Amino acid sequence: MNNEGVGGLRLTGHTVLITGGGSGIGLAVAKKLVRMGNKVIIVGRDVSKLESAQKAIPELAIHACDIGVEEQRVLLAEWLKAEYPELSVLINNAGIQYHARFDQDPPSLDAIHHELEINFVAVVRLCSLLIPMLSLRSEAAIINLSSGLAIAPKSGAAIYCATKAAVSTFTRSLRYQLEQSSIQVFEVLPPLVDTDMVRGRGKGKISADAFADQMIARVIKGRLVLHVGKTKLLYYLHRFMPKVAYRIMKHGL
């Protein structure tokens, strides 16, 4: 497994931006990073979720932003440059998942664009917009969340699976480009996590808090490719018995 270490990332005293931080995985990671002595900024589309998160964790900074819209991504970068020029960690966590069969009820062009923009284009653009800021820090990181579905897709969410595979490949290429810089580039492959996106679907989920604990512990250890929970088993299964991995995941929820 490509879990090569680089000495670890000291996850305290950083200024961290988390997309999709108002709930689920993003909020769980934000809560833990605040407790570890970091300044954490969460962004999302739902102002009420952001305000509820800040009420529960007063140390959080919040900023409403639809990262699926280019103009708002640019404004976010400008706001960060003015308000948080010391930004040192970017966590691209936000994601959406639509279920559609192309042979029965194909998604509209707007739905396709929306899923692509949030799941993949926003990751690429935020990296592009914020790398100049991150590169000024002596220790910085980009942490992109892909998915176990980047290894073996399921039938019910073809575009989601494709975007996560794209995030995985993009992250590796970006790591190559930045390997001589101060910016470490991590890919995190979550298993099925108990969040609103998968509410009522699937079994054997882990909690968002458990995921956050595992993710952060492995980042600190310097694991650049983090297979969390069952995605580690899926990685090995796909490596040695790919047909079995595809068969298992084909009808995954």
Catalytic residues: 160
Q: Could you give the CA distance from residue 47 to residue 41 in angstroms, rounded to a whole number?
A: 14
CA distances from 209 to 10, 25, 212, 226, 238 (A): 20, 7, 5, 16, 27
All residues at 6 or more sequence positions from 43 whose CB lies less than 8 Å from its CB, including other chains: 17, 18, 19, 20, 21, 50, 62, 63, 64, 65, 67, 76
**Which H helix or E strand runs over 66?**
none
Does residue 62 contact residue 42 with C-beta atoms inside 8 Å? Answer: yes
Does residue 43 contact residue 63 with C-beta atoms inside 8 Å? Answer: yes
Residue 29 region, left (φ>0) first, then alpha (ψ -120 to 50), else beta?
Answer: alpha
User: Which tokens in the block code for residue 221?
Assistant: 């250890």
